[in-house]
Amino acid sequence: MARILALANQKGGVAKTTSAVNLAAALVESGQRVLLVDLDAQACATFCLGWDPEDLELGAMDVLRGAAIAEVILKTADGVDLLPARIDLAGADQLLATRSGREFVVRDALAAVANDYDWIVIDCSPSLGIITINALAAADDVIIPLQCETLSHRGVGQLMETITDVKRLINPRLRVLGILPTLYDGRTAHAKAVLNDLGPRYKVEVLAPITRSIRFAEAPAVGRSILATSPKSKGAVEYRALAKVILRKN
């Protein structure tokens, strides 16, 4: 049975997608069978893995409407399987709002392929809407990517409260694997101060930071992870190390 890992933070630009894509690729490198689920209508993960969302006939929204998930999953050059998103996913919260059992639509859809993978990595949208609650309801683990700047803290308290509610009400097995500091610049005292404050403030594990690097801007243009475009770069090494930590925790 696949273990389901969600990357969630309702703030945009904190490297949820970058982390989902590169972590998924790193897990594949470690011999794991991985499905990446793109739950953001902006479809950046889909794009980053080499598929143009505008060329696709089917996406995650069709699965929410009842299409067989196996028929929507795509292969990617990084060896990660992909449940792609298209822009129509923007209507997901509205679609789900009136449905009974609306928190469990993603969980139930993923159950059909859970035996085909070791890991299912979910890239969440920048919202705390029903589609993100679905991701948290399906997940065993959640990682919270967070940029090391004071303003990035805004909203994390609310996210933690949402996670606590999800655990209490709909998914008791959900575990916060940790905060993942991203876009980290260890040369600045400010970034270091923010990093050191995270553990005491949120009382959760703080994972090893991912360093800011231009390599991350280059990779999506060719539709590959940076493990493929820049295999020896610091970022690739750091996401491989993160994959090892996650494997060790299971």
Interacting residues toward ligand ADP by CB under 6 A:
12-18, 44, 126, 182-183, 210, 212-213, 216-217, 235
183 Cβ neighbours under 8 A, 6+ residues apart: 14, 15, 147, 148, 210, 212
Q: Residue 15 binds which entry of Mg ion, ligand ADP, none, with Cβ cut-offs from 5 to 8 Å by kind? A: ligand ADP
Q: Does 224 bind Mg ion (CB under 5 A)?
A: no
Instruction: Work out what residue 235 binds among ligand ADP, Mg ion, none; the CB cut-off runs from 5 to 8 Å by kind.
Output: ligand ADP
The pair of three-digit structure tokens given for residue 122, joined into one six-digit string? 């979910």
Q: Which C-beta is closer to ligand ADP: that of 127 or that of 182?
A: 182
Give the three-class secondary structure for 190. helix
Q: Which of residues 31-90 bind Mg ion (CB under 5 A)?
A: 44
Q: Please report whether residue 240 would count as binding Mg ion according to CB under 5 A.
A: no
Find tokens 């993160």 and name the residue: 242
Count the residues of the shown chain that bind Mg ion, applying the rule CB under 5 A: 3
Beta bridge pairs of residue 31: none
Give min distance, CB of 98 to ligand ADP, in A.
28
Which residue among 3, 11, 16, 240 contacts Mg ion (CB under 5 A)?
16
Tell which positions 149-208 bind Mg ion, by CB under 5 A.
none
Give the helix ranges, DSSP H, for 13-155.
16-29, 44-48, 60-64, 92-97, 105-111, 130-138
Residue 212 interface partner, choices Mg ion, ligand ADP, none, CB cut-off 5-8 Å depending on type: ligand ADP
Question: Beta partners for 180?
Answer: 145
Q: Which is nearer to ligand ADP, 122 or 210 (CB)?
A: 210
Helix, coil or strand: residue 122? strand
Q: Which residue is listed with tokens 């494997």? A: 247
Q: Which is nearer to Mg ion, 17 or 76 (CB)?
A: 17
Pairwise CA distance, residues 184 & 81, whole Å: 29
Examine residue 10 and tell whether it contacts Mg ion (CB under 5 A): no
Q: Are 34 and 81 in contact (CB under 8 A)?
A: yes
CB contact at 8 A, 110 and 25: no
Q: Considering only residues 17, 134, 147, 230, which one is a binding residue for Mg ion as defined by CB under 5 A?
A: 17
Would you say 140 and 4 are in contact if contact means Cβ atoms under 8 Å apart?
A: yes
Rg (CA), the chain: 17
Shortest Cβ distance from residue 45 to ligand ADP (Å)? 8
Q: Of these partners, Mg ion, ligand ADP, none, which one is at the site of residue 216 (CB under 5 to 8 Å by kind)? A: ligand ADP
Q: Does the protein bind Mg ion through residue 127 (CB under 5 A)?
A: no
Give the rounded distance of the alpha carbon of 115 from its chain centre: 20
Nearer to ligand ADP among residue 14 and residue 198 (C-beta): 14
Least Å distance, CB 192 to Mg ion, is 26
Could you list the residues that contact Mg ion (CB under 5 A)? 16-17, 44
